[in-house]
Structure 1
Amino acid sequence: MSSKYDVLVIGGGNAALCAAISARRGGASVLVLEGAPKFYRGGNTRHTRNMRCAHDAATEILTGPYTEEEFWEDLLRVTGGKTDEVLARHMIRESKDILNWIVEQGVRWQPSLGGTLSLGRTNSFFLGGGRAMLNALYLTAERLGVDVEYDAEVTDLVIEDGMFLAARLKRPIKGETEIRATSLVAAAGGFEANIEWLKQYWGEAADNFLIRGTPYNRGSVLKMLLDKGVQEVGDPTQCHAVAIDARAPKFDGGIITRHDSVVFGIVVNKHSQRFYDEGEDIWPKRYAIWGRLVAAQPDQIAYIIFDSTVVTSFMPTLFPPIAGQTVAELAGKLELDPVALEKTITEFNAAVRPGTFDHTVLDDCVTEGITPAKTHWARRIETPPYLAYPVRPGITFTYLGTRVTKEARMLMADGRPSANMFAAGEIMAGNVLGKGYAAGMGMTIGSVFGRIAGREAAKHARN
């Protein structure tokens, strides 16, 4: 390993690899520093399935067009307008090229999986999932001559007046060293695995959060950058947080612990009370609000309740549902008040108005006379066995990050662009995602800005 490179990439996931490949194809010498051991390389990319990209027509794996304007409208809706429009529209426009560019880097697509709820037109699925996608990018990077160092914990960044000079790192066997580079790409993710940092904003509730991905995303590189004068972006309490099975491990549960059954039933808290409209919008545009909703409930626990008529309507998860032949029996297994749960379900059933059920559109199956309403896909829960999943907040990634330009160049706190520092992926996702989420968007941010960051970092090194 050399001690001087044209481009240093910190991180080992999708954004980092896209940056490394892009920089190498731009003629730069490149080193990737992955803080995790090789087996756990790739951060949250390991647990992904798909990417959302704009496209003008159906393809072999996409069922129809998804225009730039429709993508923008979806992003605007899920973020409530909290997005940098210039950067967001730039990302959407660039995403059209990514569908082909990522294939050129060895990644392969497959048609959407059954039970993924309305993603066949908008999202491209990786053949073999996120780990296969990641392995393809690493193979391409290594064939191009990119150096990769694992178990490489960055302990300090030497930055002077907005210019990156060197990174100091320690490794279990090789010890400490310093790497100098002409350009830096930071693609090291957020701070979702740093419970103490989460508690600064969430208080003791954060102790009940489960981390869907890697335990290595502790935000150390992000903190160094912010401490050394890089401008921050994003609300530290905002994050991609979904409802995952409460029986999942503290870290690394991944996609198989996520529940997509909310729209087919009701969700109650520990007092057996509903607290939000389960049918607010098409699931891929609303699934990522449920982590925050559950986080606001007592003890950060909730229960998805449904009946036997819908068990084949959604993707099965790692953990089986808890079942009871009666509502009271189910309540007992969940340690809920059976009288309260029966009352909630009885009142919900009475409020359901008949309609034509269709989970792929905003249908006319609604409730009347109860609060909160269920505005779509409302059906009576009345066919035993009655089923439930216990869920907790599952944090995917945080939105506090580094502010960047269209060229993925970091901005300093005084508004000046950095001389040679770029960012891609979750570490800068807050530029686009002020709040909310739509399925596959994290991978889009990573791939698009990774490719840009690598290209621009190489260009800076050449000059």
Structure 2
Amino acid sequence: MIETHDFDVVVLGHGIAGLSAAVAAMEAGARVAVLERASEAESGGCTRYTEAFLRLKSETELSDDFDEAMAEVASANPDPGLIAEMDSASDTWGNVVRSMSVTDTDYLATLSREAVPTIQWIKGHGVRFIPTMLPQITLASMPMITPSGGGAAMLEALGNVARDGGVAFFYETTGRRLIETAGVISGLHAVGRGNSPIDFLAKAVVLASGGFEGSPEMLARYVGPGAAGIRPVARGAHYNRGEGIRMAFEVGASPAGDFGAYHSTPVDERSARAEAKVLIFPFGIVVNRLGTRFCDEGSGADYNNYDRICWAIQKQPNSVGYAILDAKINDVPNYVRAVLSDVPPIQADSLHDLARKLDVPVGVLEQTVQAFNKGCPVGQLASFVPSKADGLSTVGVMPAKSNWARPIDTPPFIAYPLIPSGIITFGGVKTNASAQVLNSDGDVIPNLYAAGAMTGVYYRRYPAATSVLRGATFGRIAGAHAAKRVSSPVQV
């Protein structure tokens, strides 16, 4: 006999999106259950391990570029005629417009309008927010806040509120498929430890189980060659295996977001530390196991330079690259702030010895560095500015280096072995501004909601410090809307 439970709202996932949904639904009077595949000690997905940077100037103000940054990543190459149709009211949009893989204007406007009230709501539950800056050397002036204690602090606060309000938690419980009755979602089938089946009947289901950073199969299918070399950025990301996305697709959900791209930063291959970022590579060169350069290490001072270097490393042999720097890294103020690895760099007094320690061809590495040094600008090194794109570029070198191009010629030489870390996958399911999941015709799938990283919003690049914010915002919206449906089930 299958174990069965009955709730008003069932939430799949224990990260910021899931707990925001659970608390919002509970506060609206719903009986709520949260399902989490991890143990209680490891619950929370990526949120538990992230610093939870938020793209706000303060607790009451979005960053000045927030709307622009989100609009820039809302689509790839859409049909301008279809985009023009979005200027009309959303209830007049046709099938194609409603379901196309574009983050619609209503969704973006809702995020912009509700982000600050959501932060105030979380603050009201005991979370303190403080000013901060990103750990990299460039972009340090970007306005930012973060919860004191990072994402774990938000999980603790919301989790306590949920428990005090009677929310039921089921740990080590994995969602398998949605229960559908006559086109309406009526629950979720799950399994507990020992593959024991459990049915959760519900009047609404909120999927908030993250992306597919921890699924080698989905990474290989969507991201492509070399995906096996992408390491989930932290332990929590290993639990993000894409079941929520798959379950939604099985009941007809429309895909959205850029399935072939992901947000990443290079991490030290040797480190077991969460988010062991090494962000000083723009001030040197990066070579592969063959000893050759393969990308523009200094393509820009924007946050997306980290994605670009990771996507390039992914395609190299063994999905590994080696950041090579010399003693001039000491010219960069506070550069250690951009190295989060707990393992010292590999160091040598000559390129010959460094190559041997890295197990890359000695002669090839020496030739690579010699060619790079020859292409560095002569007599312009005084214009080196580490805090912004300085235009100090190579000449006659392929690939070119666009900024911070200085010769690698001053011992000791150091190196870090870099691999891409999977932080956020971009592909997911399409939702509307009420966090309701849409089918492939752009219609609402009754009683099904989704929020957080399993919803597809980003295309081509990631606007820094927006993921946790949108997870909390639309998690809260999903929970409140789901609870409202429970009390007034005739509403869509």
The two structures share one fold, judged by TM-score above 0.5: yes
1:440 maps to 465
Give the match for residue 339 of structure 1: 363
CA contact (8 A) 2:55 2:62 kept: no
- Report the secondary structure of 1:38's partner residue: coil
Counterpart amino acid of 1:137? Answer: L
- Pick from 30, 33, 36: which aligns with 1:34? 36
SS at match of 1:158: strand
- Using the TM superposition, give the Cα deviation of residue 423 of structure 1 relative to its aligned residue in structure 2, in angstroms: 0.5
Query: Which residue matches 1:183?
Result: 204
Aligned to 2:318: 299
Partner of 1:101: 121
Map of 1:66 onto structure 2: 63
Q: What amino acid sits opposite 1:333 in the alignment?
A: K
Contact 2:271 2:341 survives alignment (8 Å): no
Question: Given that residues 286 and 437 in structure 1 are in contact (C-alpha distance below 8 angstroms), is that contact kept between their aligned partners in structure 2?
Answer: no
Contact 2:55-2:464 within 8 A present in 1 as well? no
Equivalent position amino acid for 2:439 in 1: M
Instruction: State how far apart, in whole Å, the 2-side matches of 1:422 and 1:122 are.
Output: 31
CA change 1:101–1:281 in 2 (3 A) is farther
Please tell me whether the aligned partners of residues 301 and 389 of structure 2 are also in contact (alpha carbons under 8 angstroms).
Answer: yes
Instruction: Check conservation: 1:13, 1:43, Cα contact below 8 A.
Output: yes
TM-align CA RMSD:
2.6
Structure 2: gaps of 5 or more residues: 78-101
User: 2: CA distance between counterparts of 1:283 and 1:223?
Assistant: 33
How many residues matched?
A: 450
CA contact (8 A) 1:53 1:96 kept: no
The SS at the match of 1:254 is coil
Q: What is the letter of the counterpart of residue 257 of structure 2?
A: G
CA 1:102–1:42 in 2, change beyond 3 Å: closer, same or farther?
same
Matched, 1:265 2:284: yes
Instruction: Find the residue that maps to 1:51 and give its secondary structure.
Output: coil
1:281 is matched by which residue type in structure 2?
G
String of CA shifts for 1:308-361, please: whole Å, max 9, x gaps: 332641233122211111111111111112222222222322333325333333
Percent sequence identity over matched residues?
31
The TM-score normalised by the length of structure 2 is: 0.84
Asked if 1:449 is matched to 2:474, the reply is: yes
Match of 1:369, as an amino acid?
A: G
8 Å Cα contact 2:207/2:451 also seen in 1: yes
Matched, 1:124 2:170: no
More moved, 42-51 vs 205-214: 205-214
CA 1:374–1:101: 2 relative to 1, 3 Å: farther
Q: Is the 8 A contact 1:78 1:285 kept in 2?
A: no
Matches within 5 A, 1:214-229: 214=236, 215-229=238-252
Pick from 390, 398, 401: which aligns with 2:417?
A: 390
Task: Name the structure 1 match of 2:108.
Answer: 88
> Does the 8 A contact of 1:53 with 1:95 survive in 2?
no
In the other structure, the counterpart of 2:93 is none
Name the CA distance, whole Å, in 2 between partners of 1:294 and 1:106.
Answer: 41
Inter-partner Cα distance in structure 2 for 1:381 and 1:73: 38
With over 3 angstroms needed to count, the CA separation of the structure-2 counterparts of 1:75 and 1:416, relative to structure 1, is closer
CA distance in 2, matches of 1:309, 1:245: 21
Matched, 1:45 2:47: yes
Q: For structure 1, which segment, 292-301 or 365-374, has the greater mean C-alpha deviation from structure 2 after superposition? A: 365-374
Q: How far is 1:36 from its partner? A: 0.7
Please say if 1:154 is aligned against 2:175: yes
- 1-structure distance, mates of 2:145, 2:53: 5
Q: Shift of residue 262 of structure 1?
A: 1.9
Q: CA deviation at 1:285?
A: 3.5
- Is the partner of 1:168 in helix, strand or coil? strand
Name the counterpart of 2:487. 462
Contact in 1 for aligned 2:430/2:437 (Cα 8 Å)? yes
Could you say what secondary structure the match of 1:305 adopts? strand
Paired residue type of 1:74? A
Aligned counterparts of 1:325 and 1:80: Cα–Cα separation in 2: 48
Cα distance in 2 for residues equivalent to 1:423 and 1:114? 28
Matched, 1:278 2:297: yes
TM-score, normalised on structure 1? 0.89
Q: Secondary structure at the match of 1:19?
A: helix
Q: How far apart, CA to CA, are the structure 1 residues paired with 2:317 and 2:196?
A: 46
Shift of 1:196: 2.4
Cα distance in 1 between the residues matched to 2:109 and 2:26: 26
